[in-house]
Amino acid sequence: MARLAQTAGLTDVQQEIVSTVRDFVDKEIIPVATELEHRDEYPQAIVDGLKELGLFGLMIPEEYGGLGESLLTYALCVEEIARGWMSVSGIINTHFIVAYMLKQHGTQEQKDYFLPKMALGDIRGAFSMSEPALGSDVSAITSKAVRDGDEYVLSGQKMWLTNGGTSSLVAVLVRTDEGHPEGTAPHKSMTTFLVEKEPGFGEVRPGLTIPGKIEKMGYKGVDTTELIMDGLRVPADRILGGTTGRGFYQMMDGVEVGRVNVAARGCGVAQRAFELGVRYAQQRHTFGKPIAQHQAIQFKLAEMATKVEAAHAMMVNAARKKDSGQRNDLEAGMAKYLASEYCKEVVEDAFRIHGGYGFSKEYEIERLYREAPMLLIGEGTAEIQKMIIGRRLLEEYRFQG
C-alpha cells in the first residue's frame, strides 16, 4: 500500500531503525493500547521492549553507550510510536530531553555518570519547569534554591511532570538569586538542578515528595504528577553544567528539540486517525454505497491526507535544520504549531466519519479524540508558538527604511 508521510533521503540505518520501530508498534503497541489506556495502566511490557530496542539511548552518543542517532531519526521513531499510542511517546520524550540537555550542557562528570545509565534506560528522565501558577511564563517561577556550604536547599512546588513518578532523574528549574546584580533579568537567575530520586510516589527522597498521579482526560498510562520540594538538599555538583544562572537557556534548548518531538507526535496521531477513517469509510454503507463513495467523505479524506503530508514535511524540515547545527526555533515552532492543529482537525474528521461509533469506547478513534488536545498545550501552547514565530519573522524581515 502506498503510504503517506514517506521521508526521502534516509540512510539505510535510519530506514532500518524506523521500520523496526514500526513493526514493534504494529505488533506490540496497537493491539493493546486502547485497553491499557482505558485502564490508565502503565505499559511496562512495552517500555521493556523499547529498552531492548535501545530506544532510550537513540540520540545518546555512542561513547556513552547510545546509538548516536540524529534528531530526525528520533523524531521519525516518535512519529511511529505515537501512531500506536501517544502515551508511549510521552514516556520517552522527557527522558530524551533530559539526555539531550546533559549532552549539550552537562559537565564531563555529569555526562560520564548519567548518560551510560540513561542509554540503557536504567536511569529515566523527567523535566520540570511548570508550577501551579505558571506554564507559559517560565520566567515567573518561584521555586528556589539557596546555597548552604557545598549544597543547595531547594523549596517550592512544581506541576505537570510527565513521568514524575516513574523517573529517577528530574531536571528541575529553580530560581537562584545569588551573585547576580540587582535588576538582572529574571531568566538570568535560574538554574537547572539534576535531582536523583527513587521512582514511585510519596516521599521519594528526603525533602522531595511526588504526591500521586494527576487524573487526565487522555494521555493516560503515562504518569503526570506534581513535585513538592521542602528542604531538599542537592550537592552543588548537581547543577547542570556546574554554573548557576544558565538554567533558563538550557531548558529552552531542551524544549526546542522537544517541540520537534511534539510535532512528530502530532504527525503520528494524525496518521493513525487517517488510517482509521479511510478504513471505516470503505466498510460503512449508507444510501446503498460505502460512505467513501460520497463526495463529502472523499473530500474529508483528501483534506486529512493533505494535512498529514504537510505536517510531516514541516516536522522533517525542522529536525534536519537542527541536525545541521543551525538554530531551528522558527521551524520547530511552525512544525509544532501546524502539526498539533492539523492533528486535532484530522482526528475530528476521522471521528465524524465514524458517526455514532466514534463515540463508543470500543473504537480507537475515541482514544485519539481525547489525546489530540494535549498536543495543543504541551511544550508551549499555540499562542506561545505564534509569539516565537512572529518574533523570529520580524528579526528575519526587519524593515530597513
Ligand X SMILES: Cc1cc2nc3c(=O)[nH]c(=O)nc-3n(C[C@H](O)[C@H](O)[C@H](O)COP(=O)(O)OP(=O)(O)OC[C@H]3O[C@@H](n4cnc5c(N)ncnc54)[C@H](O)[C@@H]3O)c2cc1C
Catalytic amino acids? Answer: 379
Q: Give the nearer residue to ligand X in terms of CB position, either 70 or 381.
A: 381
Q: Using CA atoms in the order 20, 331, 347, 293, what is the torsion angle rounded to 10 degrees?
A: -90
* CB of residue 360 to ligand X, shortest distance in Å: 24
Q: Give the nearer residue to ligand X in terms of CB position, either 136 or 286.
A: 136
String of DSSP letters for 349-374 = HHHHHTGGGGGSTTSHHHHHHHHHHH
**Closest listed residue to residue 55, CA positions, set 33, 74, 82, 28:** 74
* CB of residue 100 to ligand X, shortest distance in Å: 14
Strand, coil or helix: 134: strand
Q: Give the nearer residue to ligand X in terms of CB position, either 7 or 209.
A: 209
Residues at the interface with ligand X (CB under 6 A): 94, 127-130, 134-137, 160-162, 216, 219, 224, 374, 377-378, 380-381, 383-384
Q: Give the nearer residue to ligand X in terms of CB position, either 135 or 186.
A: 135
Q: Give the nearer residue to ligand X in terms of CB position, either 33 or 255.
A: 255
Cβ-based neighbours of 247, under 8 Å, separated by 6 or more? 173, 174, 176, 190, 191, 192, 240
Q: Give the nearer residue to ligand X in terms of CB position, either 58 or 374.
A: 374
* CB of residue 210 to ligand X, shortest distance in Å: 13
Scanning the structure block, which residue is given the C-alpha cell 514500526? 22
- Is residue 217 packed enough to be buried (19+ CB in 10 Å), middle (13-18) or exposed (0-12)? exposed
The closest residue (CB) to ligand X is 135
Radius of gyration of the chain (CA): 22
* CB of residue 90 to ligand X, shortest distance in Å: 8
Query: Counting every residue, how long is the chain?
Result: 401
Q: Give the nearer residue to ligand X in terms of CB position, either 54 or 258.
A: 258
* CB of residue 341 to ligand X, shortest distance in Å: 13
* CB of residue 154 to ligand X, shortest distance in Å: 15
Span between the terminal Cα atoms of the chain, in Å: 54
| Cα gap 281→300, rounded to integer Å | 10
Helical (H) or strand (E) element with 310: helix 295-323
* CB of residue 74 to ligand X, shortest distance in Å: 17
| Cα gap 90→375, rounded to integer Å | 11
* CB of residue 6 to ligand X, shortest distance in Å: 30
* Buried/exposed code over 247-278 (b: 16+ C-beta within 10 A; e: otherwise): bbebbbbbbbbbbbbbbbbbbbbbbbbbbbbb
Number of neighbours of residue 62 by Cβ within 10 angstroms: 11
**Closest listed residue to residue 316, CA positions, set 332, 337, 330:** 332
Q: Give the nearer residue to ligand X in terms of CB position, either 5 or 126.
A: 126
Cβ-based neighbours of 54, under 8 Å, separated by 6 or more? 66, 67, 119
